[in-house]
Amino acid sequence: MKHKHVTFSKNIFIPVTNVCRNACGYCGFRARSLDDAYLISVKEFLTLIKTKGAATEALFTAGEKPELANFASFFKHKILDYGYSSLVEYTKELCKLAIKHGLLPHCNFGVLSREELNELRVMNASMGLMLETVAEVEAHKNSPGKIPAERLKMIEEAGKLKIPFTTGLLVGIGEKPVDHLRSLEAIKSLHDKYGHIQEVIVQPFIPKPFTPMWKKRPPSFEELKEVVRAASRILPDEIAIQVPPNLTSPKELIELGASDLGGISEKTIDYINPESPWPGEEELRKIVAPYELRERLPIYPRYIEKGWYSEEIRPLIEKYADEEGLRKRKR
């Protein structure tokens, strides 16, 4: 065994808004019409988190830069109606409420500026941005936020700000095998410099109805295995390789070096992949055996040890983390 246990987190998945400036060829999350567009209200948000169960993480997702999207007028009207001027300002308040209700926030909002990252970092245990690929692919031709250099720049800024960070590859969107290696090398290079990458997700493309790539073949399991092998070879051991258990069969990937299953929710669906339900905790234990399944927080143990978190979330980390930096076991 390359690792003594396999980790996962329990979260509440919070889709803040589906208004997005990008129009990726594979995305089913983005609003396609005004009728589909939404911005979660505080009341809706509280309904989600008040049924949190055993979750410790509030996973905030949103369309990128909704103020520049097709339905920007809808978003701007809504955000002003709620009493805020921007997505970041509003989300910061939602993060405060999440913390108050015992949840550690993790925001993944697409490309953010250094100022926006700095604004959110104090209320977040960790943050994230999928690199997806360093290749320029047809699927991203209408997505200004998917320029690889822009995404790498944000990941670097997060490193400068000492934000524990999640990134990853989206496999099967038109990139070549060599691009997987180039993407992993780019992530390694940033981590070597700043030490802030806590996990790298290897996520397969899943075709979605009503998208340009609906008829495209998803990557084979063999392709995913090759990417996990490459990640295990290229990335430092301290970076976890994450494989989502609702999108693939994780056991063989764990044997190849994957060590984390990401977040699962007892209360909310995966709004990015709603057709793919999460397995429950007991099912995961059976799937990963003989590896031990351990629950973690959205901030990995070494960043707890380094103190890479704010005073605002310190009480929750002290409440939830054991001496190893993982989630305290149930008594």
Q: What is the pLDDT of residue 144?
A: 96
CA-wise closest residue to 40 among 65, 14, 58: 14
Quickly state the pLDDT bin for 163 (edges 50, 70, 90): very high
Are residues 246 and 276 in contact, defined by beta-carbon separation less than 8 angstroms?
Answer: yes
Task: Find the mean pLDDT for residues 227-237.
Answer: 98
Alpha helices in 50-176 (DSSP H): 72-81, 87-100, 114-121, 148-160
Residue 63 to residue 42: CA distance in whole angstroms: 18
- Exposure string for 227-265, b = 16+ CB within 10 A, e = fewer: bbebbbebbeeebbbbbbbbbbebbebbebbbbbbbbbb
Please give the residue range of the domain that contains residue 88.
5-320
Q: Which two tokens stand for residue 65?
A: 């830069």
Is 265 inside a domain boundary?
yes
- Residue 41's contacts (CB-CB under 8 Å, 6 or more residues apart) are 82
Q: What is the pLDDT of residue 1?
A: 43
Alpha helices in the chain (DSSP H): 42-49, 72-81, 87-100, 114-121, 148-160, 177-194, 221-234, 250-255, 281-288, 301-306, 314-320
Task: Find the mean pLDDT for residues 258-283.
Answer: 89
Is 331 inside a domain boundary?
no
Residue 18 to residue 28: CA distance in whole angstroms: 10
Residue 262 to residue 260: CA distance in whole angstroms: 6
pLDDT above 90 as % of the chain = 90
Top pLDDT among 2 and 89 is at: 89
pLDDT at residue 331 tops 90:
no
- Residue 309's contacts (CB-CB under 8 Å, 6 or more residues apart) are 125, 164, 299, 303, 317
Q: What is the pLDDT of residue 3?
A: 65
pLDDT at residue 219 tops 50:
yes
Residue 84 to residue 253: CA distance in whole angstroms: 44
Is 68 inside a domain boundary?
yes
pLDDT tens-digit map of 274-310: 888 888 899 999 999 999 999 999 999 999 999 999 9
Quickly state the pLDDT bin for 231 (edges 50, 70, 90): very high
Are residues 282 and 8 in contact, defined by beta-carbon separation less than 8 angstroms?
Answer: no
CATH of the domain at 216: 3.20.20.70
Task: Find the mean pLDDT for residues 124-145.
Answer: 98
Is 330 inside a domain boundary?
no
pLDDT at residue 2 tops 60:
no
pLDDT at residue 102 tops 60:
yes
Residue 92 to residue 115: CA distance in whole angstroms: 13
Owner of token pair 């998917």: 146
Q: What is the pLDDT of residue 269?
A: 82
Is 328 inside a domain boundary?
no
Is 329 inside a domain boundary?
no
Domain count, the chain: 1
Least confident of 80-89, 207-216, 275-284: 275-284
Is 327 inside a domain boundary?
no
Q: The whole model's pTM is what?
A: 0.96
pLDDT tens-digit map of 19-55: 999 999 999 999 999 999 999 999 999 999 987 678 9
Is 325 inside a domain boundary?
no
Q: What is the pLDDT of residue 174?
A: 97
Q: What is the pLDDT of residue 271?
A: 84
